[in-house]
């Protein structure tokens, strides 16, 4: 079975009935594995008498990658008594590349429909812990796994780990109940325990470009949205616990251009915090064009922009917008300054492998762009209490 430690495998269920969500305490159904490139099947029962972790993840998910280091250390501690099975819905080619770029000694699995139905989830990482008898011992987060917990599990005892629950939620639900004929309003509601943290912009319909909704946001997060800045350009007072709120703002049609400023003014009036703009010298990434010039194709028709932890795809964007992406998605981990001095719009099709830094710089180079670290004076917003 040693070859399974590095094999890419696909799960096949041996039952034909539709799968249903499983819960803690239930027996894991029998599954079979087929290593890619072979026809030999291996059943999940081969891992009886071991602790098994089914870790749902993705290559673009930075919290997932951080958790993998923790899981690797646990696996090294327990040797063959702990098996980590990393499950992703990405292509086998992408997972293979990740495997080649890293040294995580896991079994990599392409997610199947049965696994999605057994363990539905909205947020990753998502961790399933199986006992040596292949019973579901926990549905939790990877950071909840500890050496002591695994030891208890291997001793045949029950473990009590926090349950990870992804709240089902209709993202189109308007919890503020705003009438479509409303001209303007500002509402604040308390935390919604049944809702995930999320925001909504209105790009069409009667509220087009003049309404924003925020659900379960901490106050500094609300100010960040109003200031249209990133966490790297804010100084936030320390607090032991940040209360969350639900906030909705609608401005009159003629005030559409002032939406963010009116949100900021409304937050200041309600919470009593003022955003003070202060120039400070900070270490930043500077985005610049190489001597050969930007090699991107010119912009095409205006279309949907897609961005994530490993990609920025836009048919119509400026270098400044790309710099904003690098900052807001935490790619740089610091402020990013656009120093290309180019306002022209281009077609971006940028992607890289987060686990492989060289791929990032190679992708930049392919566009005729580069970055460097420098000290620059930038505006930083500091939240100051008016009370």
The tens digit of pLDDT for each residue in 52-70 reads 999 999 999 989 999 999 9
Note the pLDDT of residue 147. Answer: 96
Q: What is the pLDDT of residue 104?
A: 94
Residue partners of 275: CB distance under 8 A and separation at least 6: 223, 226, 227, 264, 268, 381, 382, 383, 384
Contact indicator for 311, 317 with CB cutoff of 8 Å: no
Q: What is the pLDDT of residue 237?
A: 79
Q: Are strands 311-317 and 346-351 parallel, antiparallel or unpaired?
A: antiparallel
CA–CA dist 301, 193 (Å, integer): 42
The whole-number pLDDT of residue 2 equals: 43
Report pLDDT digits (tens) over 193-207.
Answer: 889 899 999 999 999
pLDDT at 373: 98
pLDDT score of 309 more than 60: yes
Q: What are phi and psi of 119, to 5 degrees?
A: -130, 70
Under the banding of pLDDT at 50, 70 and 90, the label for residue 362 is very high
pLDDT band of residue 7 (cuts 50, 70, 90) is: very low
The tens digit of pLDDT for each residue in 17-47 reads 456 899 999 999 988 776 544 566 768 888 9
Domain ranges, ordered by start, for the chain = 2-154, 185-271, 281-381
Q: What is the pLDDT of residue 3?
A: 45
| Fold of domain 2-154 | Glutaredoxin (3.40.30)
Pairwise CA distance, residues 370 & 89, whole Å: 31
């Amino acid at each position: 079975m040693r070859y399974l430690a590095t094999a890419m495998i696909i799960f096949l269920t041996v039952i034909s009935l539709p799968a249903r969500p499983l819960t803690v305490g239930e027996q894991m159904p029998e599954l079979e594995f087929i290593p890619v490139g072979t026809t030999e099947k291996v059943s999940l029962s081969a891992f009886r008498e071991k602790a098994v972790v089914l870790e749902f993840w993705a290559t673009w998910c930075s919290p997932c990658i951080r958790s993998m280091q923790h899981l690797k250390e646990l696996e090294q501690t327990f040797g063959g008594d702990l098996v980590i099975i990393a499950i992703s819905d990405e292509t086998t080619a992408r997972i293979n590349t990740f495997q080649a770029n890293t040294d995580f000694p896991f079994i990599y699995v392409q997610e199947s429909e049965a696994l999605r139905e057994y363990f539905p989830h909205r947020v990753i990482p998502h961790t399933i812990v199986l006992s040596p008898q292949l019973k579901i011992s926990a549905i939790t987060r990877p950071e909840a796994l500890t050496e002591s917990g695994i030891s208890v599990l291997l001793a045949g005892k029950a473990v009590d780990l926090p349950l990870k629950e992804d709240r089902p939620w209709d993202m189109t639900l308007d919890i503020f109940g705003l009438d479509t004929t409303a001209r303007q309003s500002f509402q604040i509601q308390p935390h919604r325990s049944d809702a995930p943290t999320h925001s909504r912009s209105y790009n069409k319909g009667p509220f087009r470009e003049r309404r924003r909704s925020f659900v379960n946001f901490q106050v500094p997060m609300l100010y960040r949205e109003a200031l249209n800045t990133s966490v790297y350009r804010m100084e936030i007072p320390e607090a032991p616990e940040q209360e969350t709120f639900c906030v909705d703002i609608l401005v009159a049609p003629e005030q559409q251009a002032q939406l963010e400023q009116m949100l900021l003014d409304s937050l200041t009036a309600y919470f009593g915090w003022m955003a003070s703009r202060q120039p400070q010298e900070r270490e930043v990434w500077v985005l610049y064009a190489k001597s050969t010039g930007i090699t991107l194709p010119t912009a095409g028709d205006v279309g949907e922009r897609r961005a994530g932890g490993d990609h920025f795809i836009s048919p119509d964007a400026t270098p400044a917008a790309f710099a904003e992406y690098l900052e807001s998605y935490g790619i740089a981990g610091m402020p990013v300054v656009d120093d290309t001095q180019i306002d022209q719009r281009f077609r971006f099709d940028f992607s890289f492998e987060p686990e492989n830094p060289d791929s990032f710089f190679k992708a930049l180079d392919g566009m005729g762009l580069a970055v460097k670290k420098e000290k620059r004076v930038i505006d930083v917003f500091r939240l100051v209490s008016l009370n």
